[in-house]
Amino acid sequence: MSVLRGSLINLATRILAVALGLGITLYTARLGKSQQGAFALFTAVEAVLLAVTSGFGVALARRVSHHGERPSGLAGASVAACVVLGILSGVGLVAASLWGGDGYRDLWLLALAGPLLFITPNLSGLWLGGGHMGALARVTLGAPVFTLLALLLLALAGAAPALRWVLLAWVVARMVVAAGALLAAWRGGQVGAPDLAALKAERGFIVVIAMTNLVGLLNYKADLFLVEHFLGLAETGVYSIAVLIAELLWLVSSSVTTAAYARIGAPDADAARRITLRAVHASVLVLVALSPLLWLCAAMAVPLLLGPEYTPALLALAWLLPGVALYGAASALSAWFTNHAGRPRVPAQLATLSLVINVVVSLVAIPRIGMLGGALATSLSYAVTVAIAGLWFMRASGTSAAELLWPDWRALWATGRRVRRPG
C-alpha cells in the first residue's frame, strides 16, 4: 500500500468517524449549551486517561515497524497492564464524579468501562506499526457507529432526550469495540501469553511516551478546562464547538502521518528524513489552504444546525485556525523523533513547552477577554512549538532550512505515489 493510498484510506475513515462524531455533538449541543459543555468535559477527561496509557500502543507499533517483530508476548502483557490501570482509573473517576462539580458528575459512567477502556487504542499499535489501515478503520469507526445506533434505538423506544443516555451509549460502545478488538487480535495470534520481561524492557519508553502524549493532550484541552473554570459550563459548550471545528483540520495531517508511520520508523535514516519532510509539507500546505474554507462552512452551518446561541464560537474559531494549521507539522515531526530516532523525550519537551505557554497565556487572557483568550493562547503556543520542533529536527536529521521551509514539489508527489511500506 502506497503512502498516498494509505493516507486516503485513513483520511476517509477519519472523515467518516468525524461525521459520526459531529452527529453525536449535534445531538448534545441541541440539548443546551451547558449539556454540550458537560459532554465536552466528559470526552476530554476520557482523552486524558487514554493519553496516560498510550505508551503501550506506541511501543507495540515500534516493535513492528522499526524492529520487524511480531510482539505477541509484549501485546499480552500490555493488555494485562491496561486492564489493571483501567480498574484503578475507574476508582478515580467515581471520586471525581462525587467531588468534581457539576461538569464532572457523570464520570462514574466512564468508570463502568474501566477494565476495557484502554484496550482498543493500545492494540491499535499492532495495526499502526504494520500499516494495516483496514483494521485501524474498523476500530476507529466502531465506537461512534454503535453510539449512534444506541441513540437511535433509544429514540425509537420513546426515551426522552438526555445527556446521560448519550454518555451511557458512548461508554457501552467503547466496551463493545474493545472486546471485539481483543478477540480479533487474539485469534490472529497477535496477542499471546503476557511476557512481563518484554514489558519491563519497554517500561522507560512507554512511560516517556505516555507523559509526552499526556502533556500534548493537555496542551489541546487545557484551554477548555480553564474556560470552564473561569466562565462556566455554558461558555465551555460554545467554546468546545470552536475547538471541535478547528481540530477537523488535523484529519489531514494525522491521516498522512498515520499512513507514513511505518516508513518514518524505517532504519534507513535518509529515507525516514525524506518521508518526514514530505509529510510535514503536505500537511501544512493543505491545512493552510483549507482553513478559510472551513471557517466559511462553519459560518453557514453553526447558526443553522446549532442555533444562534453558538455563533460566538465563530470568532474564537478564527483565532484558533492559524495555530491549528501550523501545528499540522507537529504530527510528522513527533513521529520522526519517536518512531525513527527513538527519542520520545524530544516531543515530550516540546509538548511541555507548548502546554506552559498555553496555560500561562490562558490564565492571563481568559478572565479578560473570555473564550477568545483561550483561542489566542492555543494559537500562540502551537506556532512557537512548531518553530522550535522544526529547528530541532533540522539539527538532529541534518536537514537544511531550505529543505524544511521549501517543499520539493516533484518529490512530494512522487513520494505519495511510489513509496511502499517495508515488507
In the predicted model, is pLDDT for residue 77 greater than 90? yes
**Residue 121 and residue 126: Cα distance in Å, rounded?**
10
Residue 401: CB atoms within 10 A of its CB come to: 10
Between 67-76, 107-116, 259-268, the lowest mean confidence (pLDDT) is in 259-268
Distance CA 241, CA 413 (A): 34
Task: Report the C-alpha gap between 314 and 244 in whole angstroms.
Answer: 12
Residue 418 predicted with pLDDT over 60: no
pLDDT value, residue 62: 83
By 3-state DSSP, what share of the chain in percent is helix, strand and coil, each rounded to 5? 85, 0, 15
Q: Among 139-143, 179-183, 210-214, 368-372, which stretch is predicted with the lowest mean pLDDT? A: 210-214
**Confidence at 1, pLDDT banded by 50, 70, 90:** very low
Length of the chain: 423
Residues 302, 313: contact at Cβ < 8 Å? Answer: yes
Is the per-residue pLDDT at 422 higher than 50? no
Question: What is the predicted pLDDT for the residue at 114?
Answer: 92
What is the band of 407 on the pLDDT scale with cuts at 50, 70, 90? confident
193 exposure class (CB count in 10 Å sphere: 0-12, 13-18, 19+): exposed
pTM of the complete model: 0.81
Domain boundaries in the chain?
A: 3-418
pLDDT at residue 362 tops 90: yes
Confidence at 4, pLDDT banded by 50, 70, 90: low
What is the residue whose three cell numbers read 455563533?
311
Please enumerate in sequence order all residues whose Cβ is within 8 A of that of 225, keeping only pairs 6 or more positions apart, or say none. 41, 44
- Backbone CA torsion sign across 217, 249, 335, 382: negative
Sorting pLDDT into bands at 50, 70 and 90, what band is 7? low
Residue 170: its pLDDT value, please? 94
Write down the pLDDT at residue 411: 63
Residue 406 parent element (H or E): none
In the structure, what pLDDT confidence band is assigned to residue 272 with cuts at 50, 70 and 90? confident
The predicted-structure confidence for 273-315, as pLDDT tens digits, reads as follows 888 998 898 889 989 999 999 999 999 999 999 999 999 999 9
The residue to which cell 457539576 is assigned? 102
Which residues lie below 8 Å from residue 313, measured CB to CB, with a gap of 6+? 238, 239, 241, 242, 245, 298, 302
* Mean pLDDT of the residues in the chain: 89
Residue 394 is predicted with a pLDDT of 94
Q: Residue 304: exposed, middle, or buried by beta-carbon count in 10 A (0-12, 13-18, 19+)?
A: exposed
Ramachandran assignment for 399, one of left (phi > 0), alpha (psi -120 to 50 degrees), beta (any other): beta
Task: Write down the pLDDT at residue 23.
Answer: 92
User: What is the number of other CB atoms lying within 10 angstroms of the CB of residue 97?
Assistant: 17
Per-residue pLDDT band for 419 (boundaries 50, 70, 90) equals very low
Give Cα separations from 4 to 11, 252, 253 (angstroms). Answer: 10, 12, 12
* DSSP string for residues in 40-57: HHHHHHHHHHHHHTTHHH
CB atoms within 10 A of CB 353: 17
Burial 386-395 (b: 16+ CB within 10 A, else e): beebbebbee
Phi/psi of residue 31, nearest 5 degrees: -75, -20
Residue 345 — pLDDT band, cuts 50, 70, 90? confident
Confidence grade of residue 421 (pLDDT, cut at 50, 70, 90): very low
The DSSP code sequence of 57-125 is: HHHHHHHHHTT----HHHHHHHHHHHHHHHHHHHHHHHHHHHHS-GGGTTHHHHHTTHHHHTHHHHHHH
Which amino acid makes up residue 362? S
Q: Once rounded to an integer, what is the mean pLDDT over residues 161-174?
A: 93
User: Is pLDDT at 423 greater than 50 in this prediction?
Assistant: no
Residue 197 has a pLDDT of 95
Q: Are 239 and 316 in contact (CB under 8 A)?
A: yes
The predicted structure's pLDDT at residue 333: 92
Q: How far is CA 2 from CA 135, 333, 334, 418, in A?
A: 16, 20, 21, 6
**Confidence tier at 234 by pLDDT (50, 70, 90):** very high
Mean pLDDT within 178-204 = 93
